[in-house]
Amino acid sequence: MSALDLGLPSLGGLDGVPTTDEKQTAKEYTSDQEVRWCPGCGDYAVLAAVRGFLPQLGLRRENVVFVSGIGCSSRFPYYLNTYGMHSIHGRAPTIATGLAVTRPDLSVFVVTGDGDALSIGGNHLIHAVRRNINMTILLFNNRIYGLTKGQYSPTSEVGKITKSTPMGSLDQPFNPLSVVLGAEATFVARTIDANRAQLTEVLTAAAAHRGTSFVEIYQDCPIFNDGAFDVIRRGGDEAKQRIIPLKHGEPIRFGLDGEFGVVHSEDGYGLRVAPIAEVGEDAVVVHDEHRDDPSFAFALSRLSDQDLTHTVTGVFRNVDRLAYDDGARQQLKDARSTGQADLGTLLRGKDTWTVGTD
Amino acid sequence: MTIPDTTVQASTNDGSPSSTGTNGHHRAVEVQKRHRVVIRFAGDSGDGMQLTGDRFTSEAAAFGNDLATLPNFPAEIRAPAGTLPGVSSFQLHFADYDILTPGDRPDVLVAMNPAALKANIADLPLGAILIANSDEFNKRNLTKVGYEANPLEDDSLSAYTVHSVQMATLARGALAETGLSKKDAERAKNMFALGLLCWMYHRPTESTERFLREKFARRPDLAEANVLAFRAGWNFGETTESFAVTYEVDPAPLDTGTYRQITGNTALAYGIVAAGQQSGLPVFLGSYPITPASDILHELSKHKAFGVTTFQAEDEISGIGSAIGAAFGGALGVTTTSGPGISLKSEATGLAVALELPLLVIDVQRGGPSTGLPTRTEQSDLLQAMFGRNGESPLPVIAPRSPGDCFDAAIEATRLAVTYRTPVILLSDGSLANGSEPWKVPDVADLPTIDPGFATEANATDGSGEFWPYQRDDDTLARPWAVPGTAGLEHRIGGLEKADGKGSISYDPDNHDRMVRLRQAKIDNIPVPDLVVDDPDGDAELLVLGWGSTYGPIGAGARRVRAMGLSVAQAHLRHLNPLPANLGDVLRGYKTVLLPEMNLGQLALLLRGRYLVDVKSYTKVSGLPFQAEELQNLFLDALKGELL
The whole-number pLDDT of residue B380 equals 98
Q: Which of B270, B284, B307 sits opposite A346 (nearest CB)?
A: B270
Cβ-based contacts of A344 with chain B (< 8 Å): 443-444
What's the rounded mean pLDDT across residues A197-201? 95
Gap between the Cα atoms of A33 and A24, Å rounded: 19
The answer to whether the Cβ–Cβ distance between A353 and B257 falls below 8 Å is: no
Cα distance from A113 to chain B (closest Cα, Å)? 17
What's the rounded mean pLDDT across residues A140-152? 95
| pLDDT tens-digit series, residues A239-273 | 999 999 999 999 999 999 999 999 999 888 899 99
| pLDDT tens-digit series, residues B63-82 | 889 999 999 888 888 888 89
User: Is pLDDT above 50 for B493?
Assistant: yes
- Residue A111 and residue A138 in contact, taking contact as beta carbons nearer than 8 Å: yes
The whole-number pLDDT of residue B90 equals 95
The answer to whether the Cβ–Cβ distance between B485 and A105 falls below 8 Å is: yes
- Give chain B's radius of gyration (CA, Å): 27
User: Is pLDDT above 90 for A357?
Assistant: no
| pLDDT tens-digit series, residues B82-91 | 999 999 999 9
The answer to whether the Cβ–Cβ distance between B484 and A95 falls below 8 Å is: no
Closest alpha carbon to A69 in A84, A49, A48:
A84
Amino acid letter, B492 = R
Gap between the Cα atoms of B171 and B182, Å rounded: 10
Cβ-based contacts of A83 with chain B (< 8 Å): 484, 490-492
The whole-number pLDDT of residue A348 equals 95
Cβ-based contacts of B208 with chain A (< 8 Å): none
Neighbouring CB atoms inside 10 A of B464's CB total 10
Q: DSSP string of B587-608?
A: HHTSSEEEEEESSSSHHHHHHH
The whole-number pLDDT of residue A2 equals 60
C-alpha dist (Å) from residue B144 to B81, B154, B462: 10, 18, 80
The whole-number pLDDT of residue A8 equals 61
Cα distance from B588 to chain A (closest Cα, Å)? 41
Cross-strand bridge partners of residue B335? B286, B361
The distance in angstroms from the start CA to the end CA of chain B is 25
Closest alpha carbon to A211 in A313, A64, A122, A321:
A321
What's the rounded mean pLDDT across residues B196-210? 91
- Give chain A's radius of gyration (CA, Å): 23
Gap between the Cα atoms of B410 and B266, Å rounded: 11
Pairing state of beta strands B533-534 and B492-494?
unpaired
Gap between the Cα atoms of B618 and B407, Å rounded: 28
pLDDT band at B429 (very low <50, low <70, confident <90, very high): very high
Cβ-based contacts of A94 with chain B (< 8 Å): 286, 313, 317-318, 320-322, 324-325
Dihedral (Cα; B129, B131, B137, B143), 10-degree rounding? -40
Can you list the alpha helix ranges (DSSP code H) found in B497-627? 509-524, 551-563, 583-588, 602-611
Closest alpha carbon to B426 in B447, B436, B437, B412:
B412
Cβ-based contacts of A351 with chain B (< 8 Å): 58, 61-62, 207, 260-261
The answer to whether the Cβ–Cβ distance between B64 and A355 falls below 8 Å is: yes
Cα distance from B183 to chain A (closest Cα, Å)? 32
Long-range contacts for A328-331 (Cβ within 8 Å, ≥24 apart)?
A328/A101, A328/B309, A328/B311, A329/A101, A329/A104, A330/A6, A330/A8, A331/B304
Residues 6 or more apart whose CB falls under 8 angstroms from that of A136 comprise A13, A107, A108, A109, A110, A203, A206, A207, A209, A212, A213, A215
- Residue B100 and residue B241 in contact, taking contact as beta carbons nearer than 8 Å: no
The answer to whether the Cβ–Cβ distance between B328 and A96 falls below 8 Å is: no
Residue in B with minimal Cα distance to A35: B505
What's the rounded mean pLDDT across residues B584-612? 98
Q: Which of B286, B444, B487 sits opposite A343 (nearest CB)?
A: B444
Q: Count of alpha carbons within 13 Å of B68, Cβ hemisphere only? A: 24
Closest alpha carbon to B596 in B639, B545, B633:
B545
Cα distance from A3 to chain B (closest Cα, Å)? 19
> What is the spatial order of strands in the sheet that B283-287 belongs to?
B308-312, B283-287, B332-337, B359-365, B423-429, B397-398, B575-577
Q: Is A147 helix (H, G, I), strand (E, B) or coil?
A: coil
Q: Is the dihedral of CA A215, A219, A225, A230 positive or negative?
A: positive
State the pTM of this model: 0.93
User: Is pLDDT above 90 for B38?
Assistant: yes
- Residue B288 and residue B319 in contact, taking contact as beta carbons nearer than 8 Å: yes
The whole-number pLDDT of residue A353 equals 84
Best probe of the A interface among B492, B496, B505, B506, by most A CBs < 10 A, is B492
Q: Is the dihedral of CA A119, A121, A127, A128 positive or negative?
A: negative
| pLDDT tens-digit series, residues B92-138 | 999 999 999 999 999 999 999 999 999 999 999 999 999 999 999 99
The answer to whether the Cβ–Cβ distance between A101 and B491 falls below 8 Å is: no
| pLDDT tens-digit series, residues A298-326 | 999 999 988 999 999 999 999 999 999 99
pLDDT band at B18 (very low <50, low <70, confident <90, very high): very low
Gap between the Cα atoms of A68 and A117, Å rounded: 10
| Average pLDDT of chain A to the nearest whole number | 94
Q: Residue B218 burial (CB < 10 Å; 0-12/13-18/19+)?
A: exposed
Cβ-based contacts of B63 with chain A (< 8 Å): 353
What H or E segment, with its residue span, contains residue B618? strand B616-619
A94 touches chain B (CB under 8 A): yes
Cα distance from B325 to chain A (closest Cα, Å)? 4
What proportions of chain B, in percent to the nearest 5, are helix, strand and coil?
40, 20, 40
Q: Which of A85, A343, A356 sits opposite B277 (nearest CB)?
A: A343
Cα distance from B350 to chain A (closest Cα, Å)? 10
The whole-number pLDDT of residue A78 equals 96
What proportions of chain A, in percent to the nearest 5, are helix, strand and coil?
35, 20, 45
A11 touches chain B (CB under 8 A): no
* Interface A-B: count of C-beta contacts within 8 A: 214
The answer to whether the Cβ–Cβ distance between A346 and B273 falls below 8 Å is: yes
Q: Is B626 helix (H, G, I), strand (E, B) or coil?
A: coil
Could you say which residues from 282 to 341 on chain A have a Cβ atom under 8 Å away from some Cβ of chain B?
328, 331-332, 334-336, 338-341
Q: Count of alpha carbons within 13 Å of A202, Cβ hemisphere only? A: 32
Q: Is A247 helix (H, G, I), strand (E, B) or coil?
A: coil
| pLDDT tens-digit series, residues B432-485 | 999 999 999 999 999 999 999 999 999 999 999 999 999 999 999 999 999 999
| pLDDT tens-digit series, residues B320-351 | 999 999 999 999 999 999 999 999 999 999 99
Q: Which of A63, A88, A95 sits opposite B484 (nearest CB)?
A: A63
What H or E segment, with its residue span, contains residue B71? strand B66-72
Neighbouring CB atoms inside 10 A of A292's CB total 13
| Average pLDDT of chain B to the nearest whole number | 93
The answer to whether the Cβ–Cβ distance between B257 and A355 falls below 8 Å is: yes
C-alpha dist (Å) from residue B322 to A301, A315, B14, B629: 30, 28, 58, 45
Gap between the Cα atoms of A248 and A296, Å rounded: 13
pLDDT band at A232 (very low <50, low <70, confident <90, very high): very high
Gap between the Cα atoms of A39 and B387, Å rounded: 40
Best probe of the B interface among A62, A63, A95, A342, by most B CBs < 10 A, is A95
The residue ranking higher by pLDDT, A354 or B342, is B342
- Residue B92 and residue B121 in contact, taking contact as beta carbons nearer than 8 Å: no
User: Is pLDDT above 60 for B392?
Assistant: yes
Best probe of the A interface among B66, B97, B318, B497, by most A CBs < 10 A, is B318
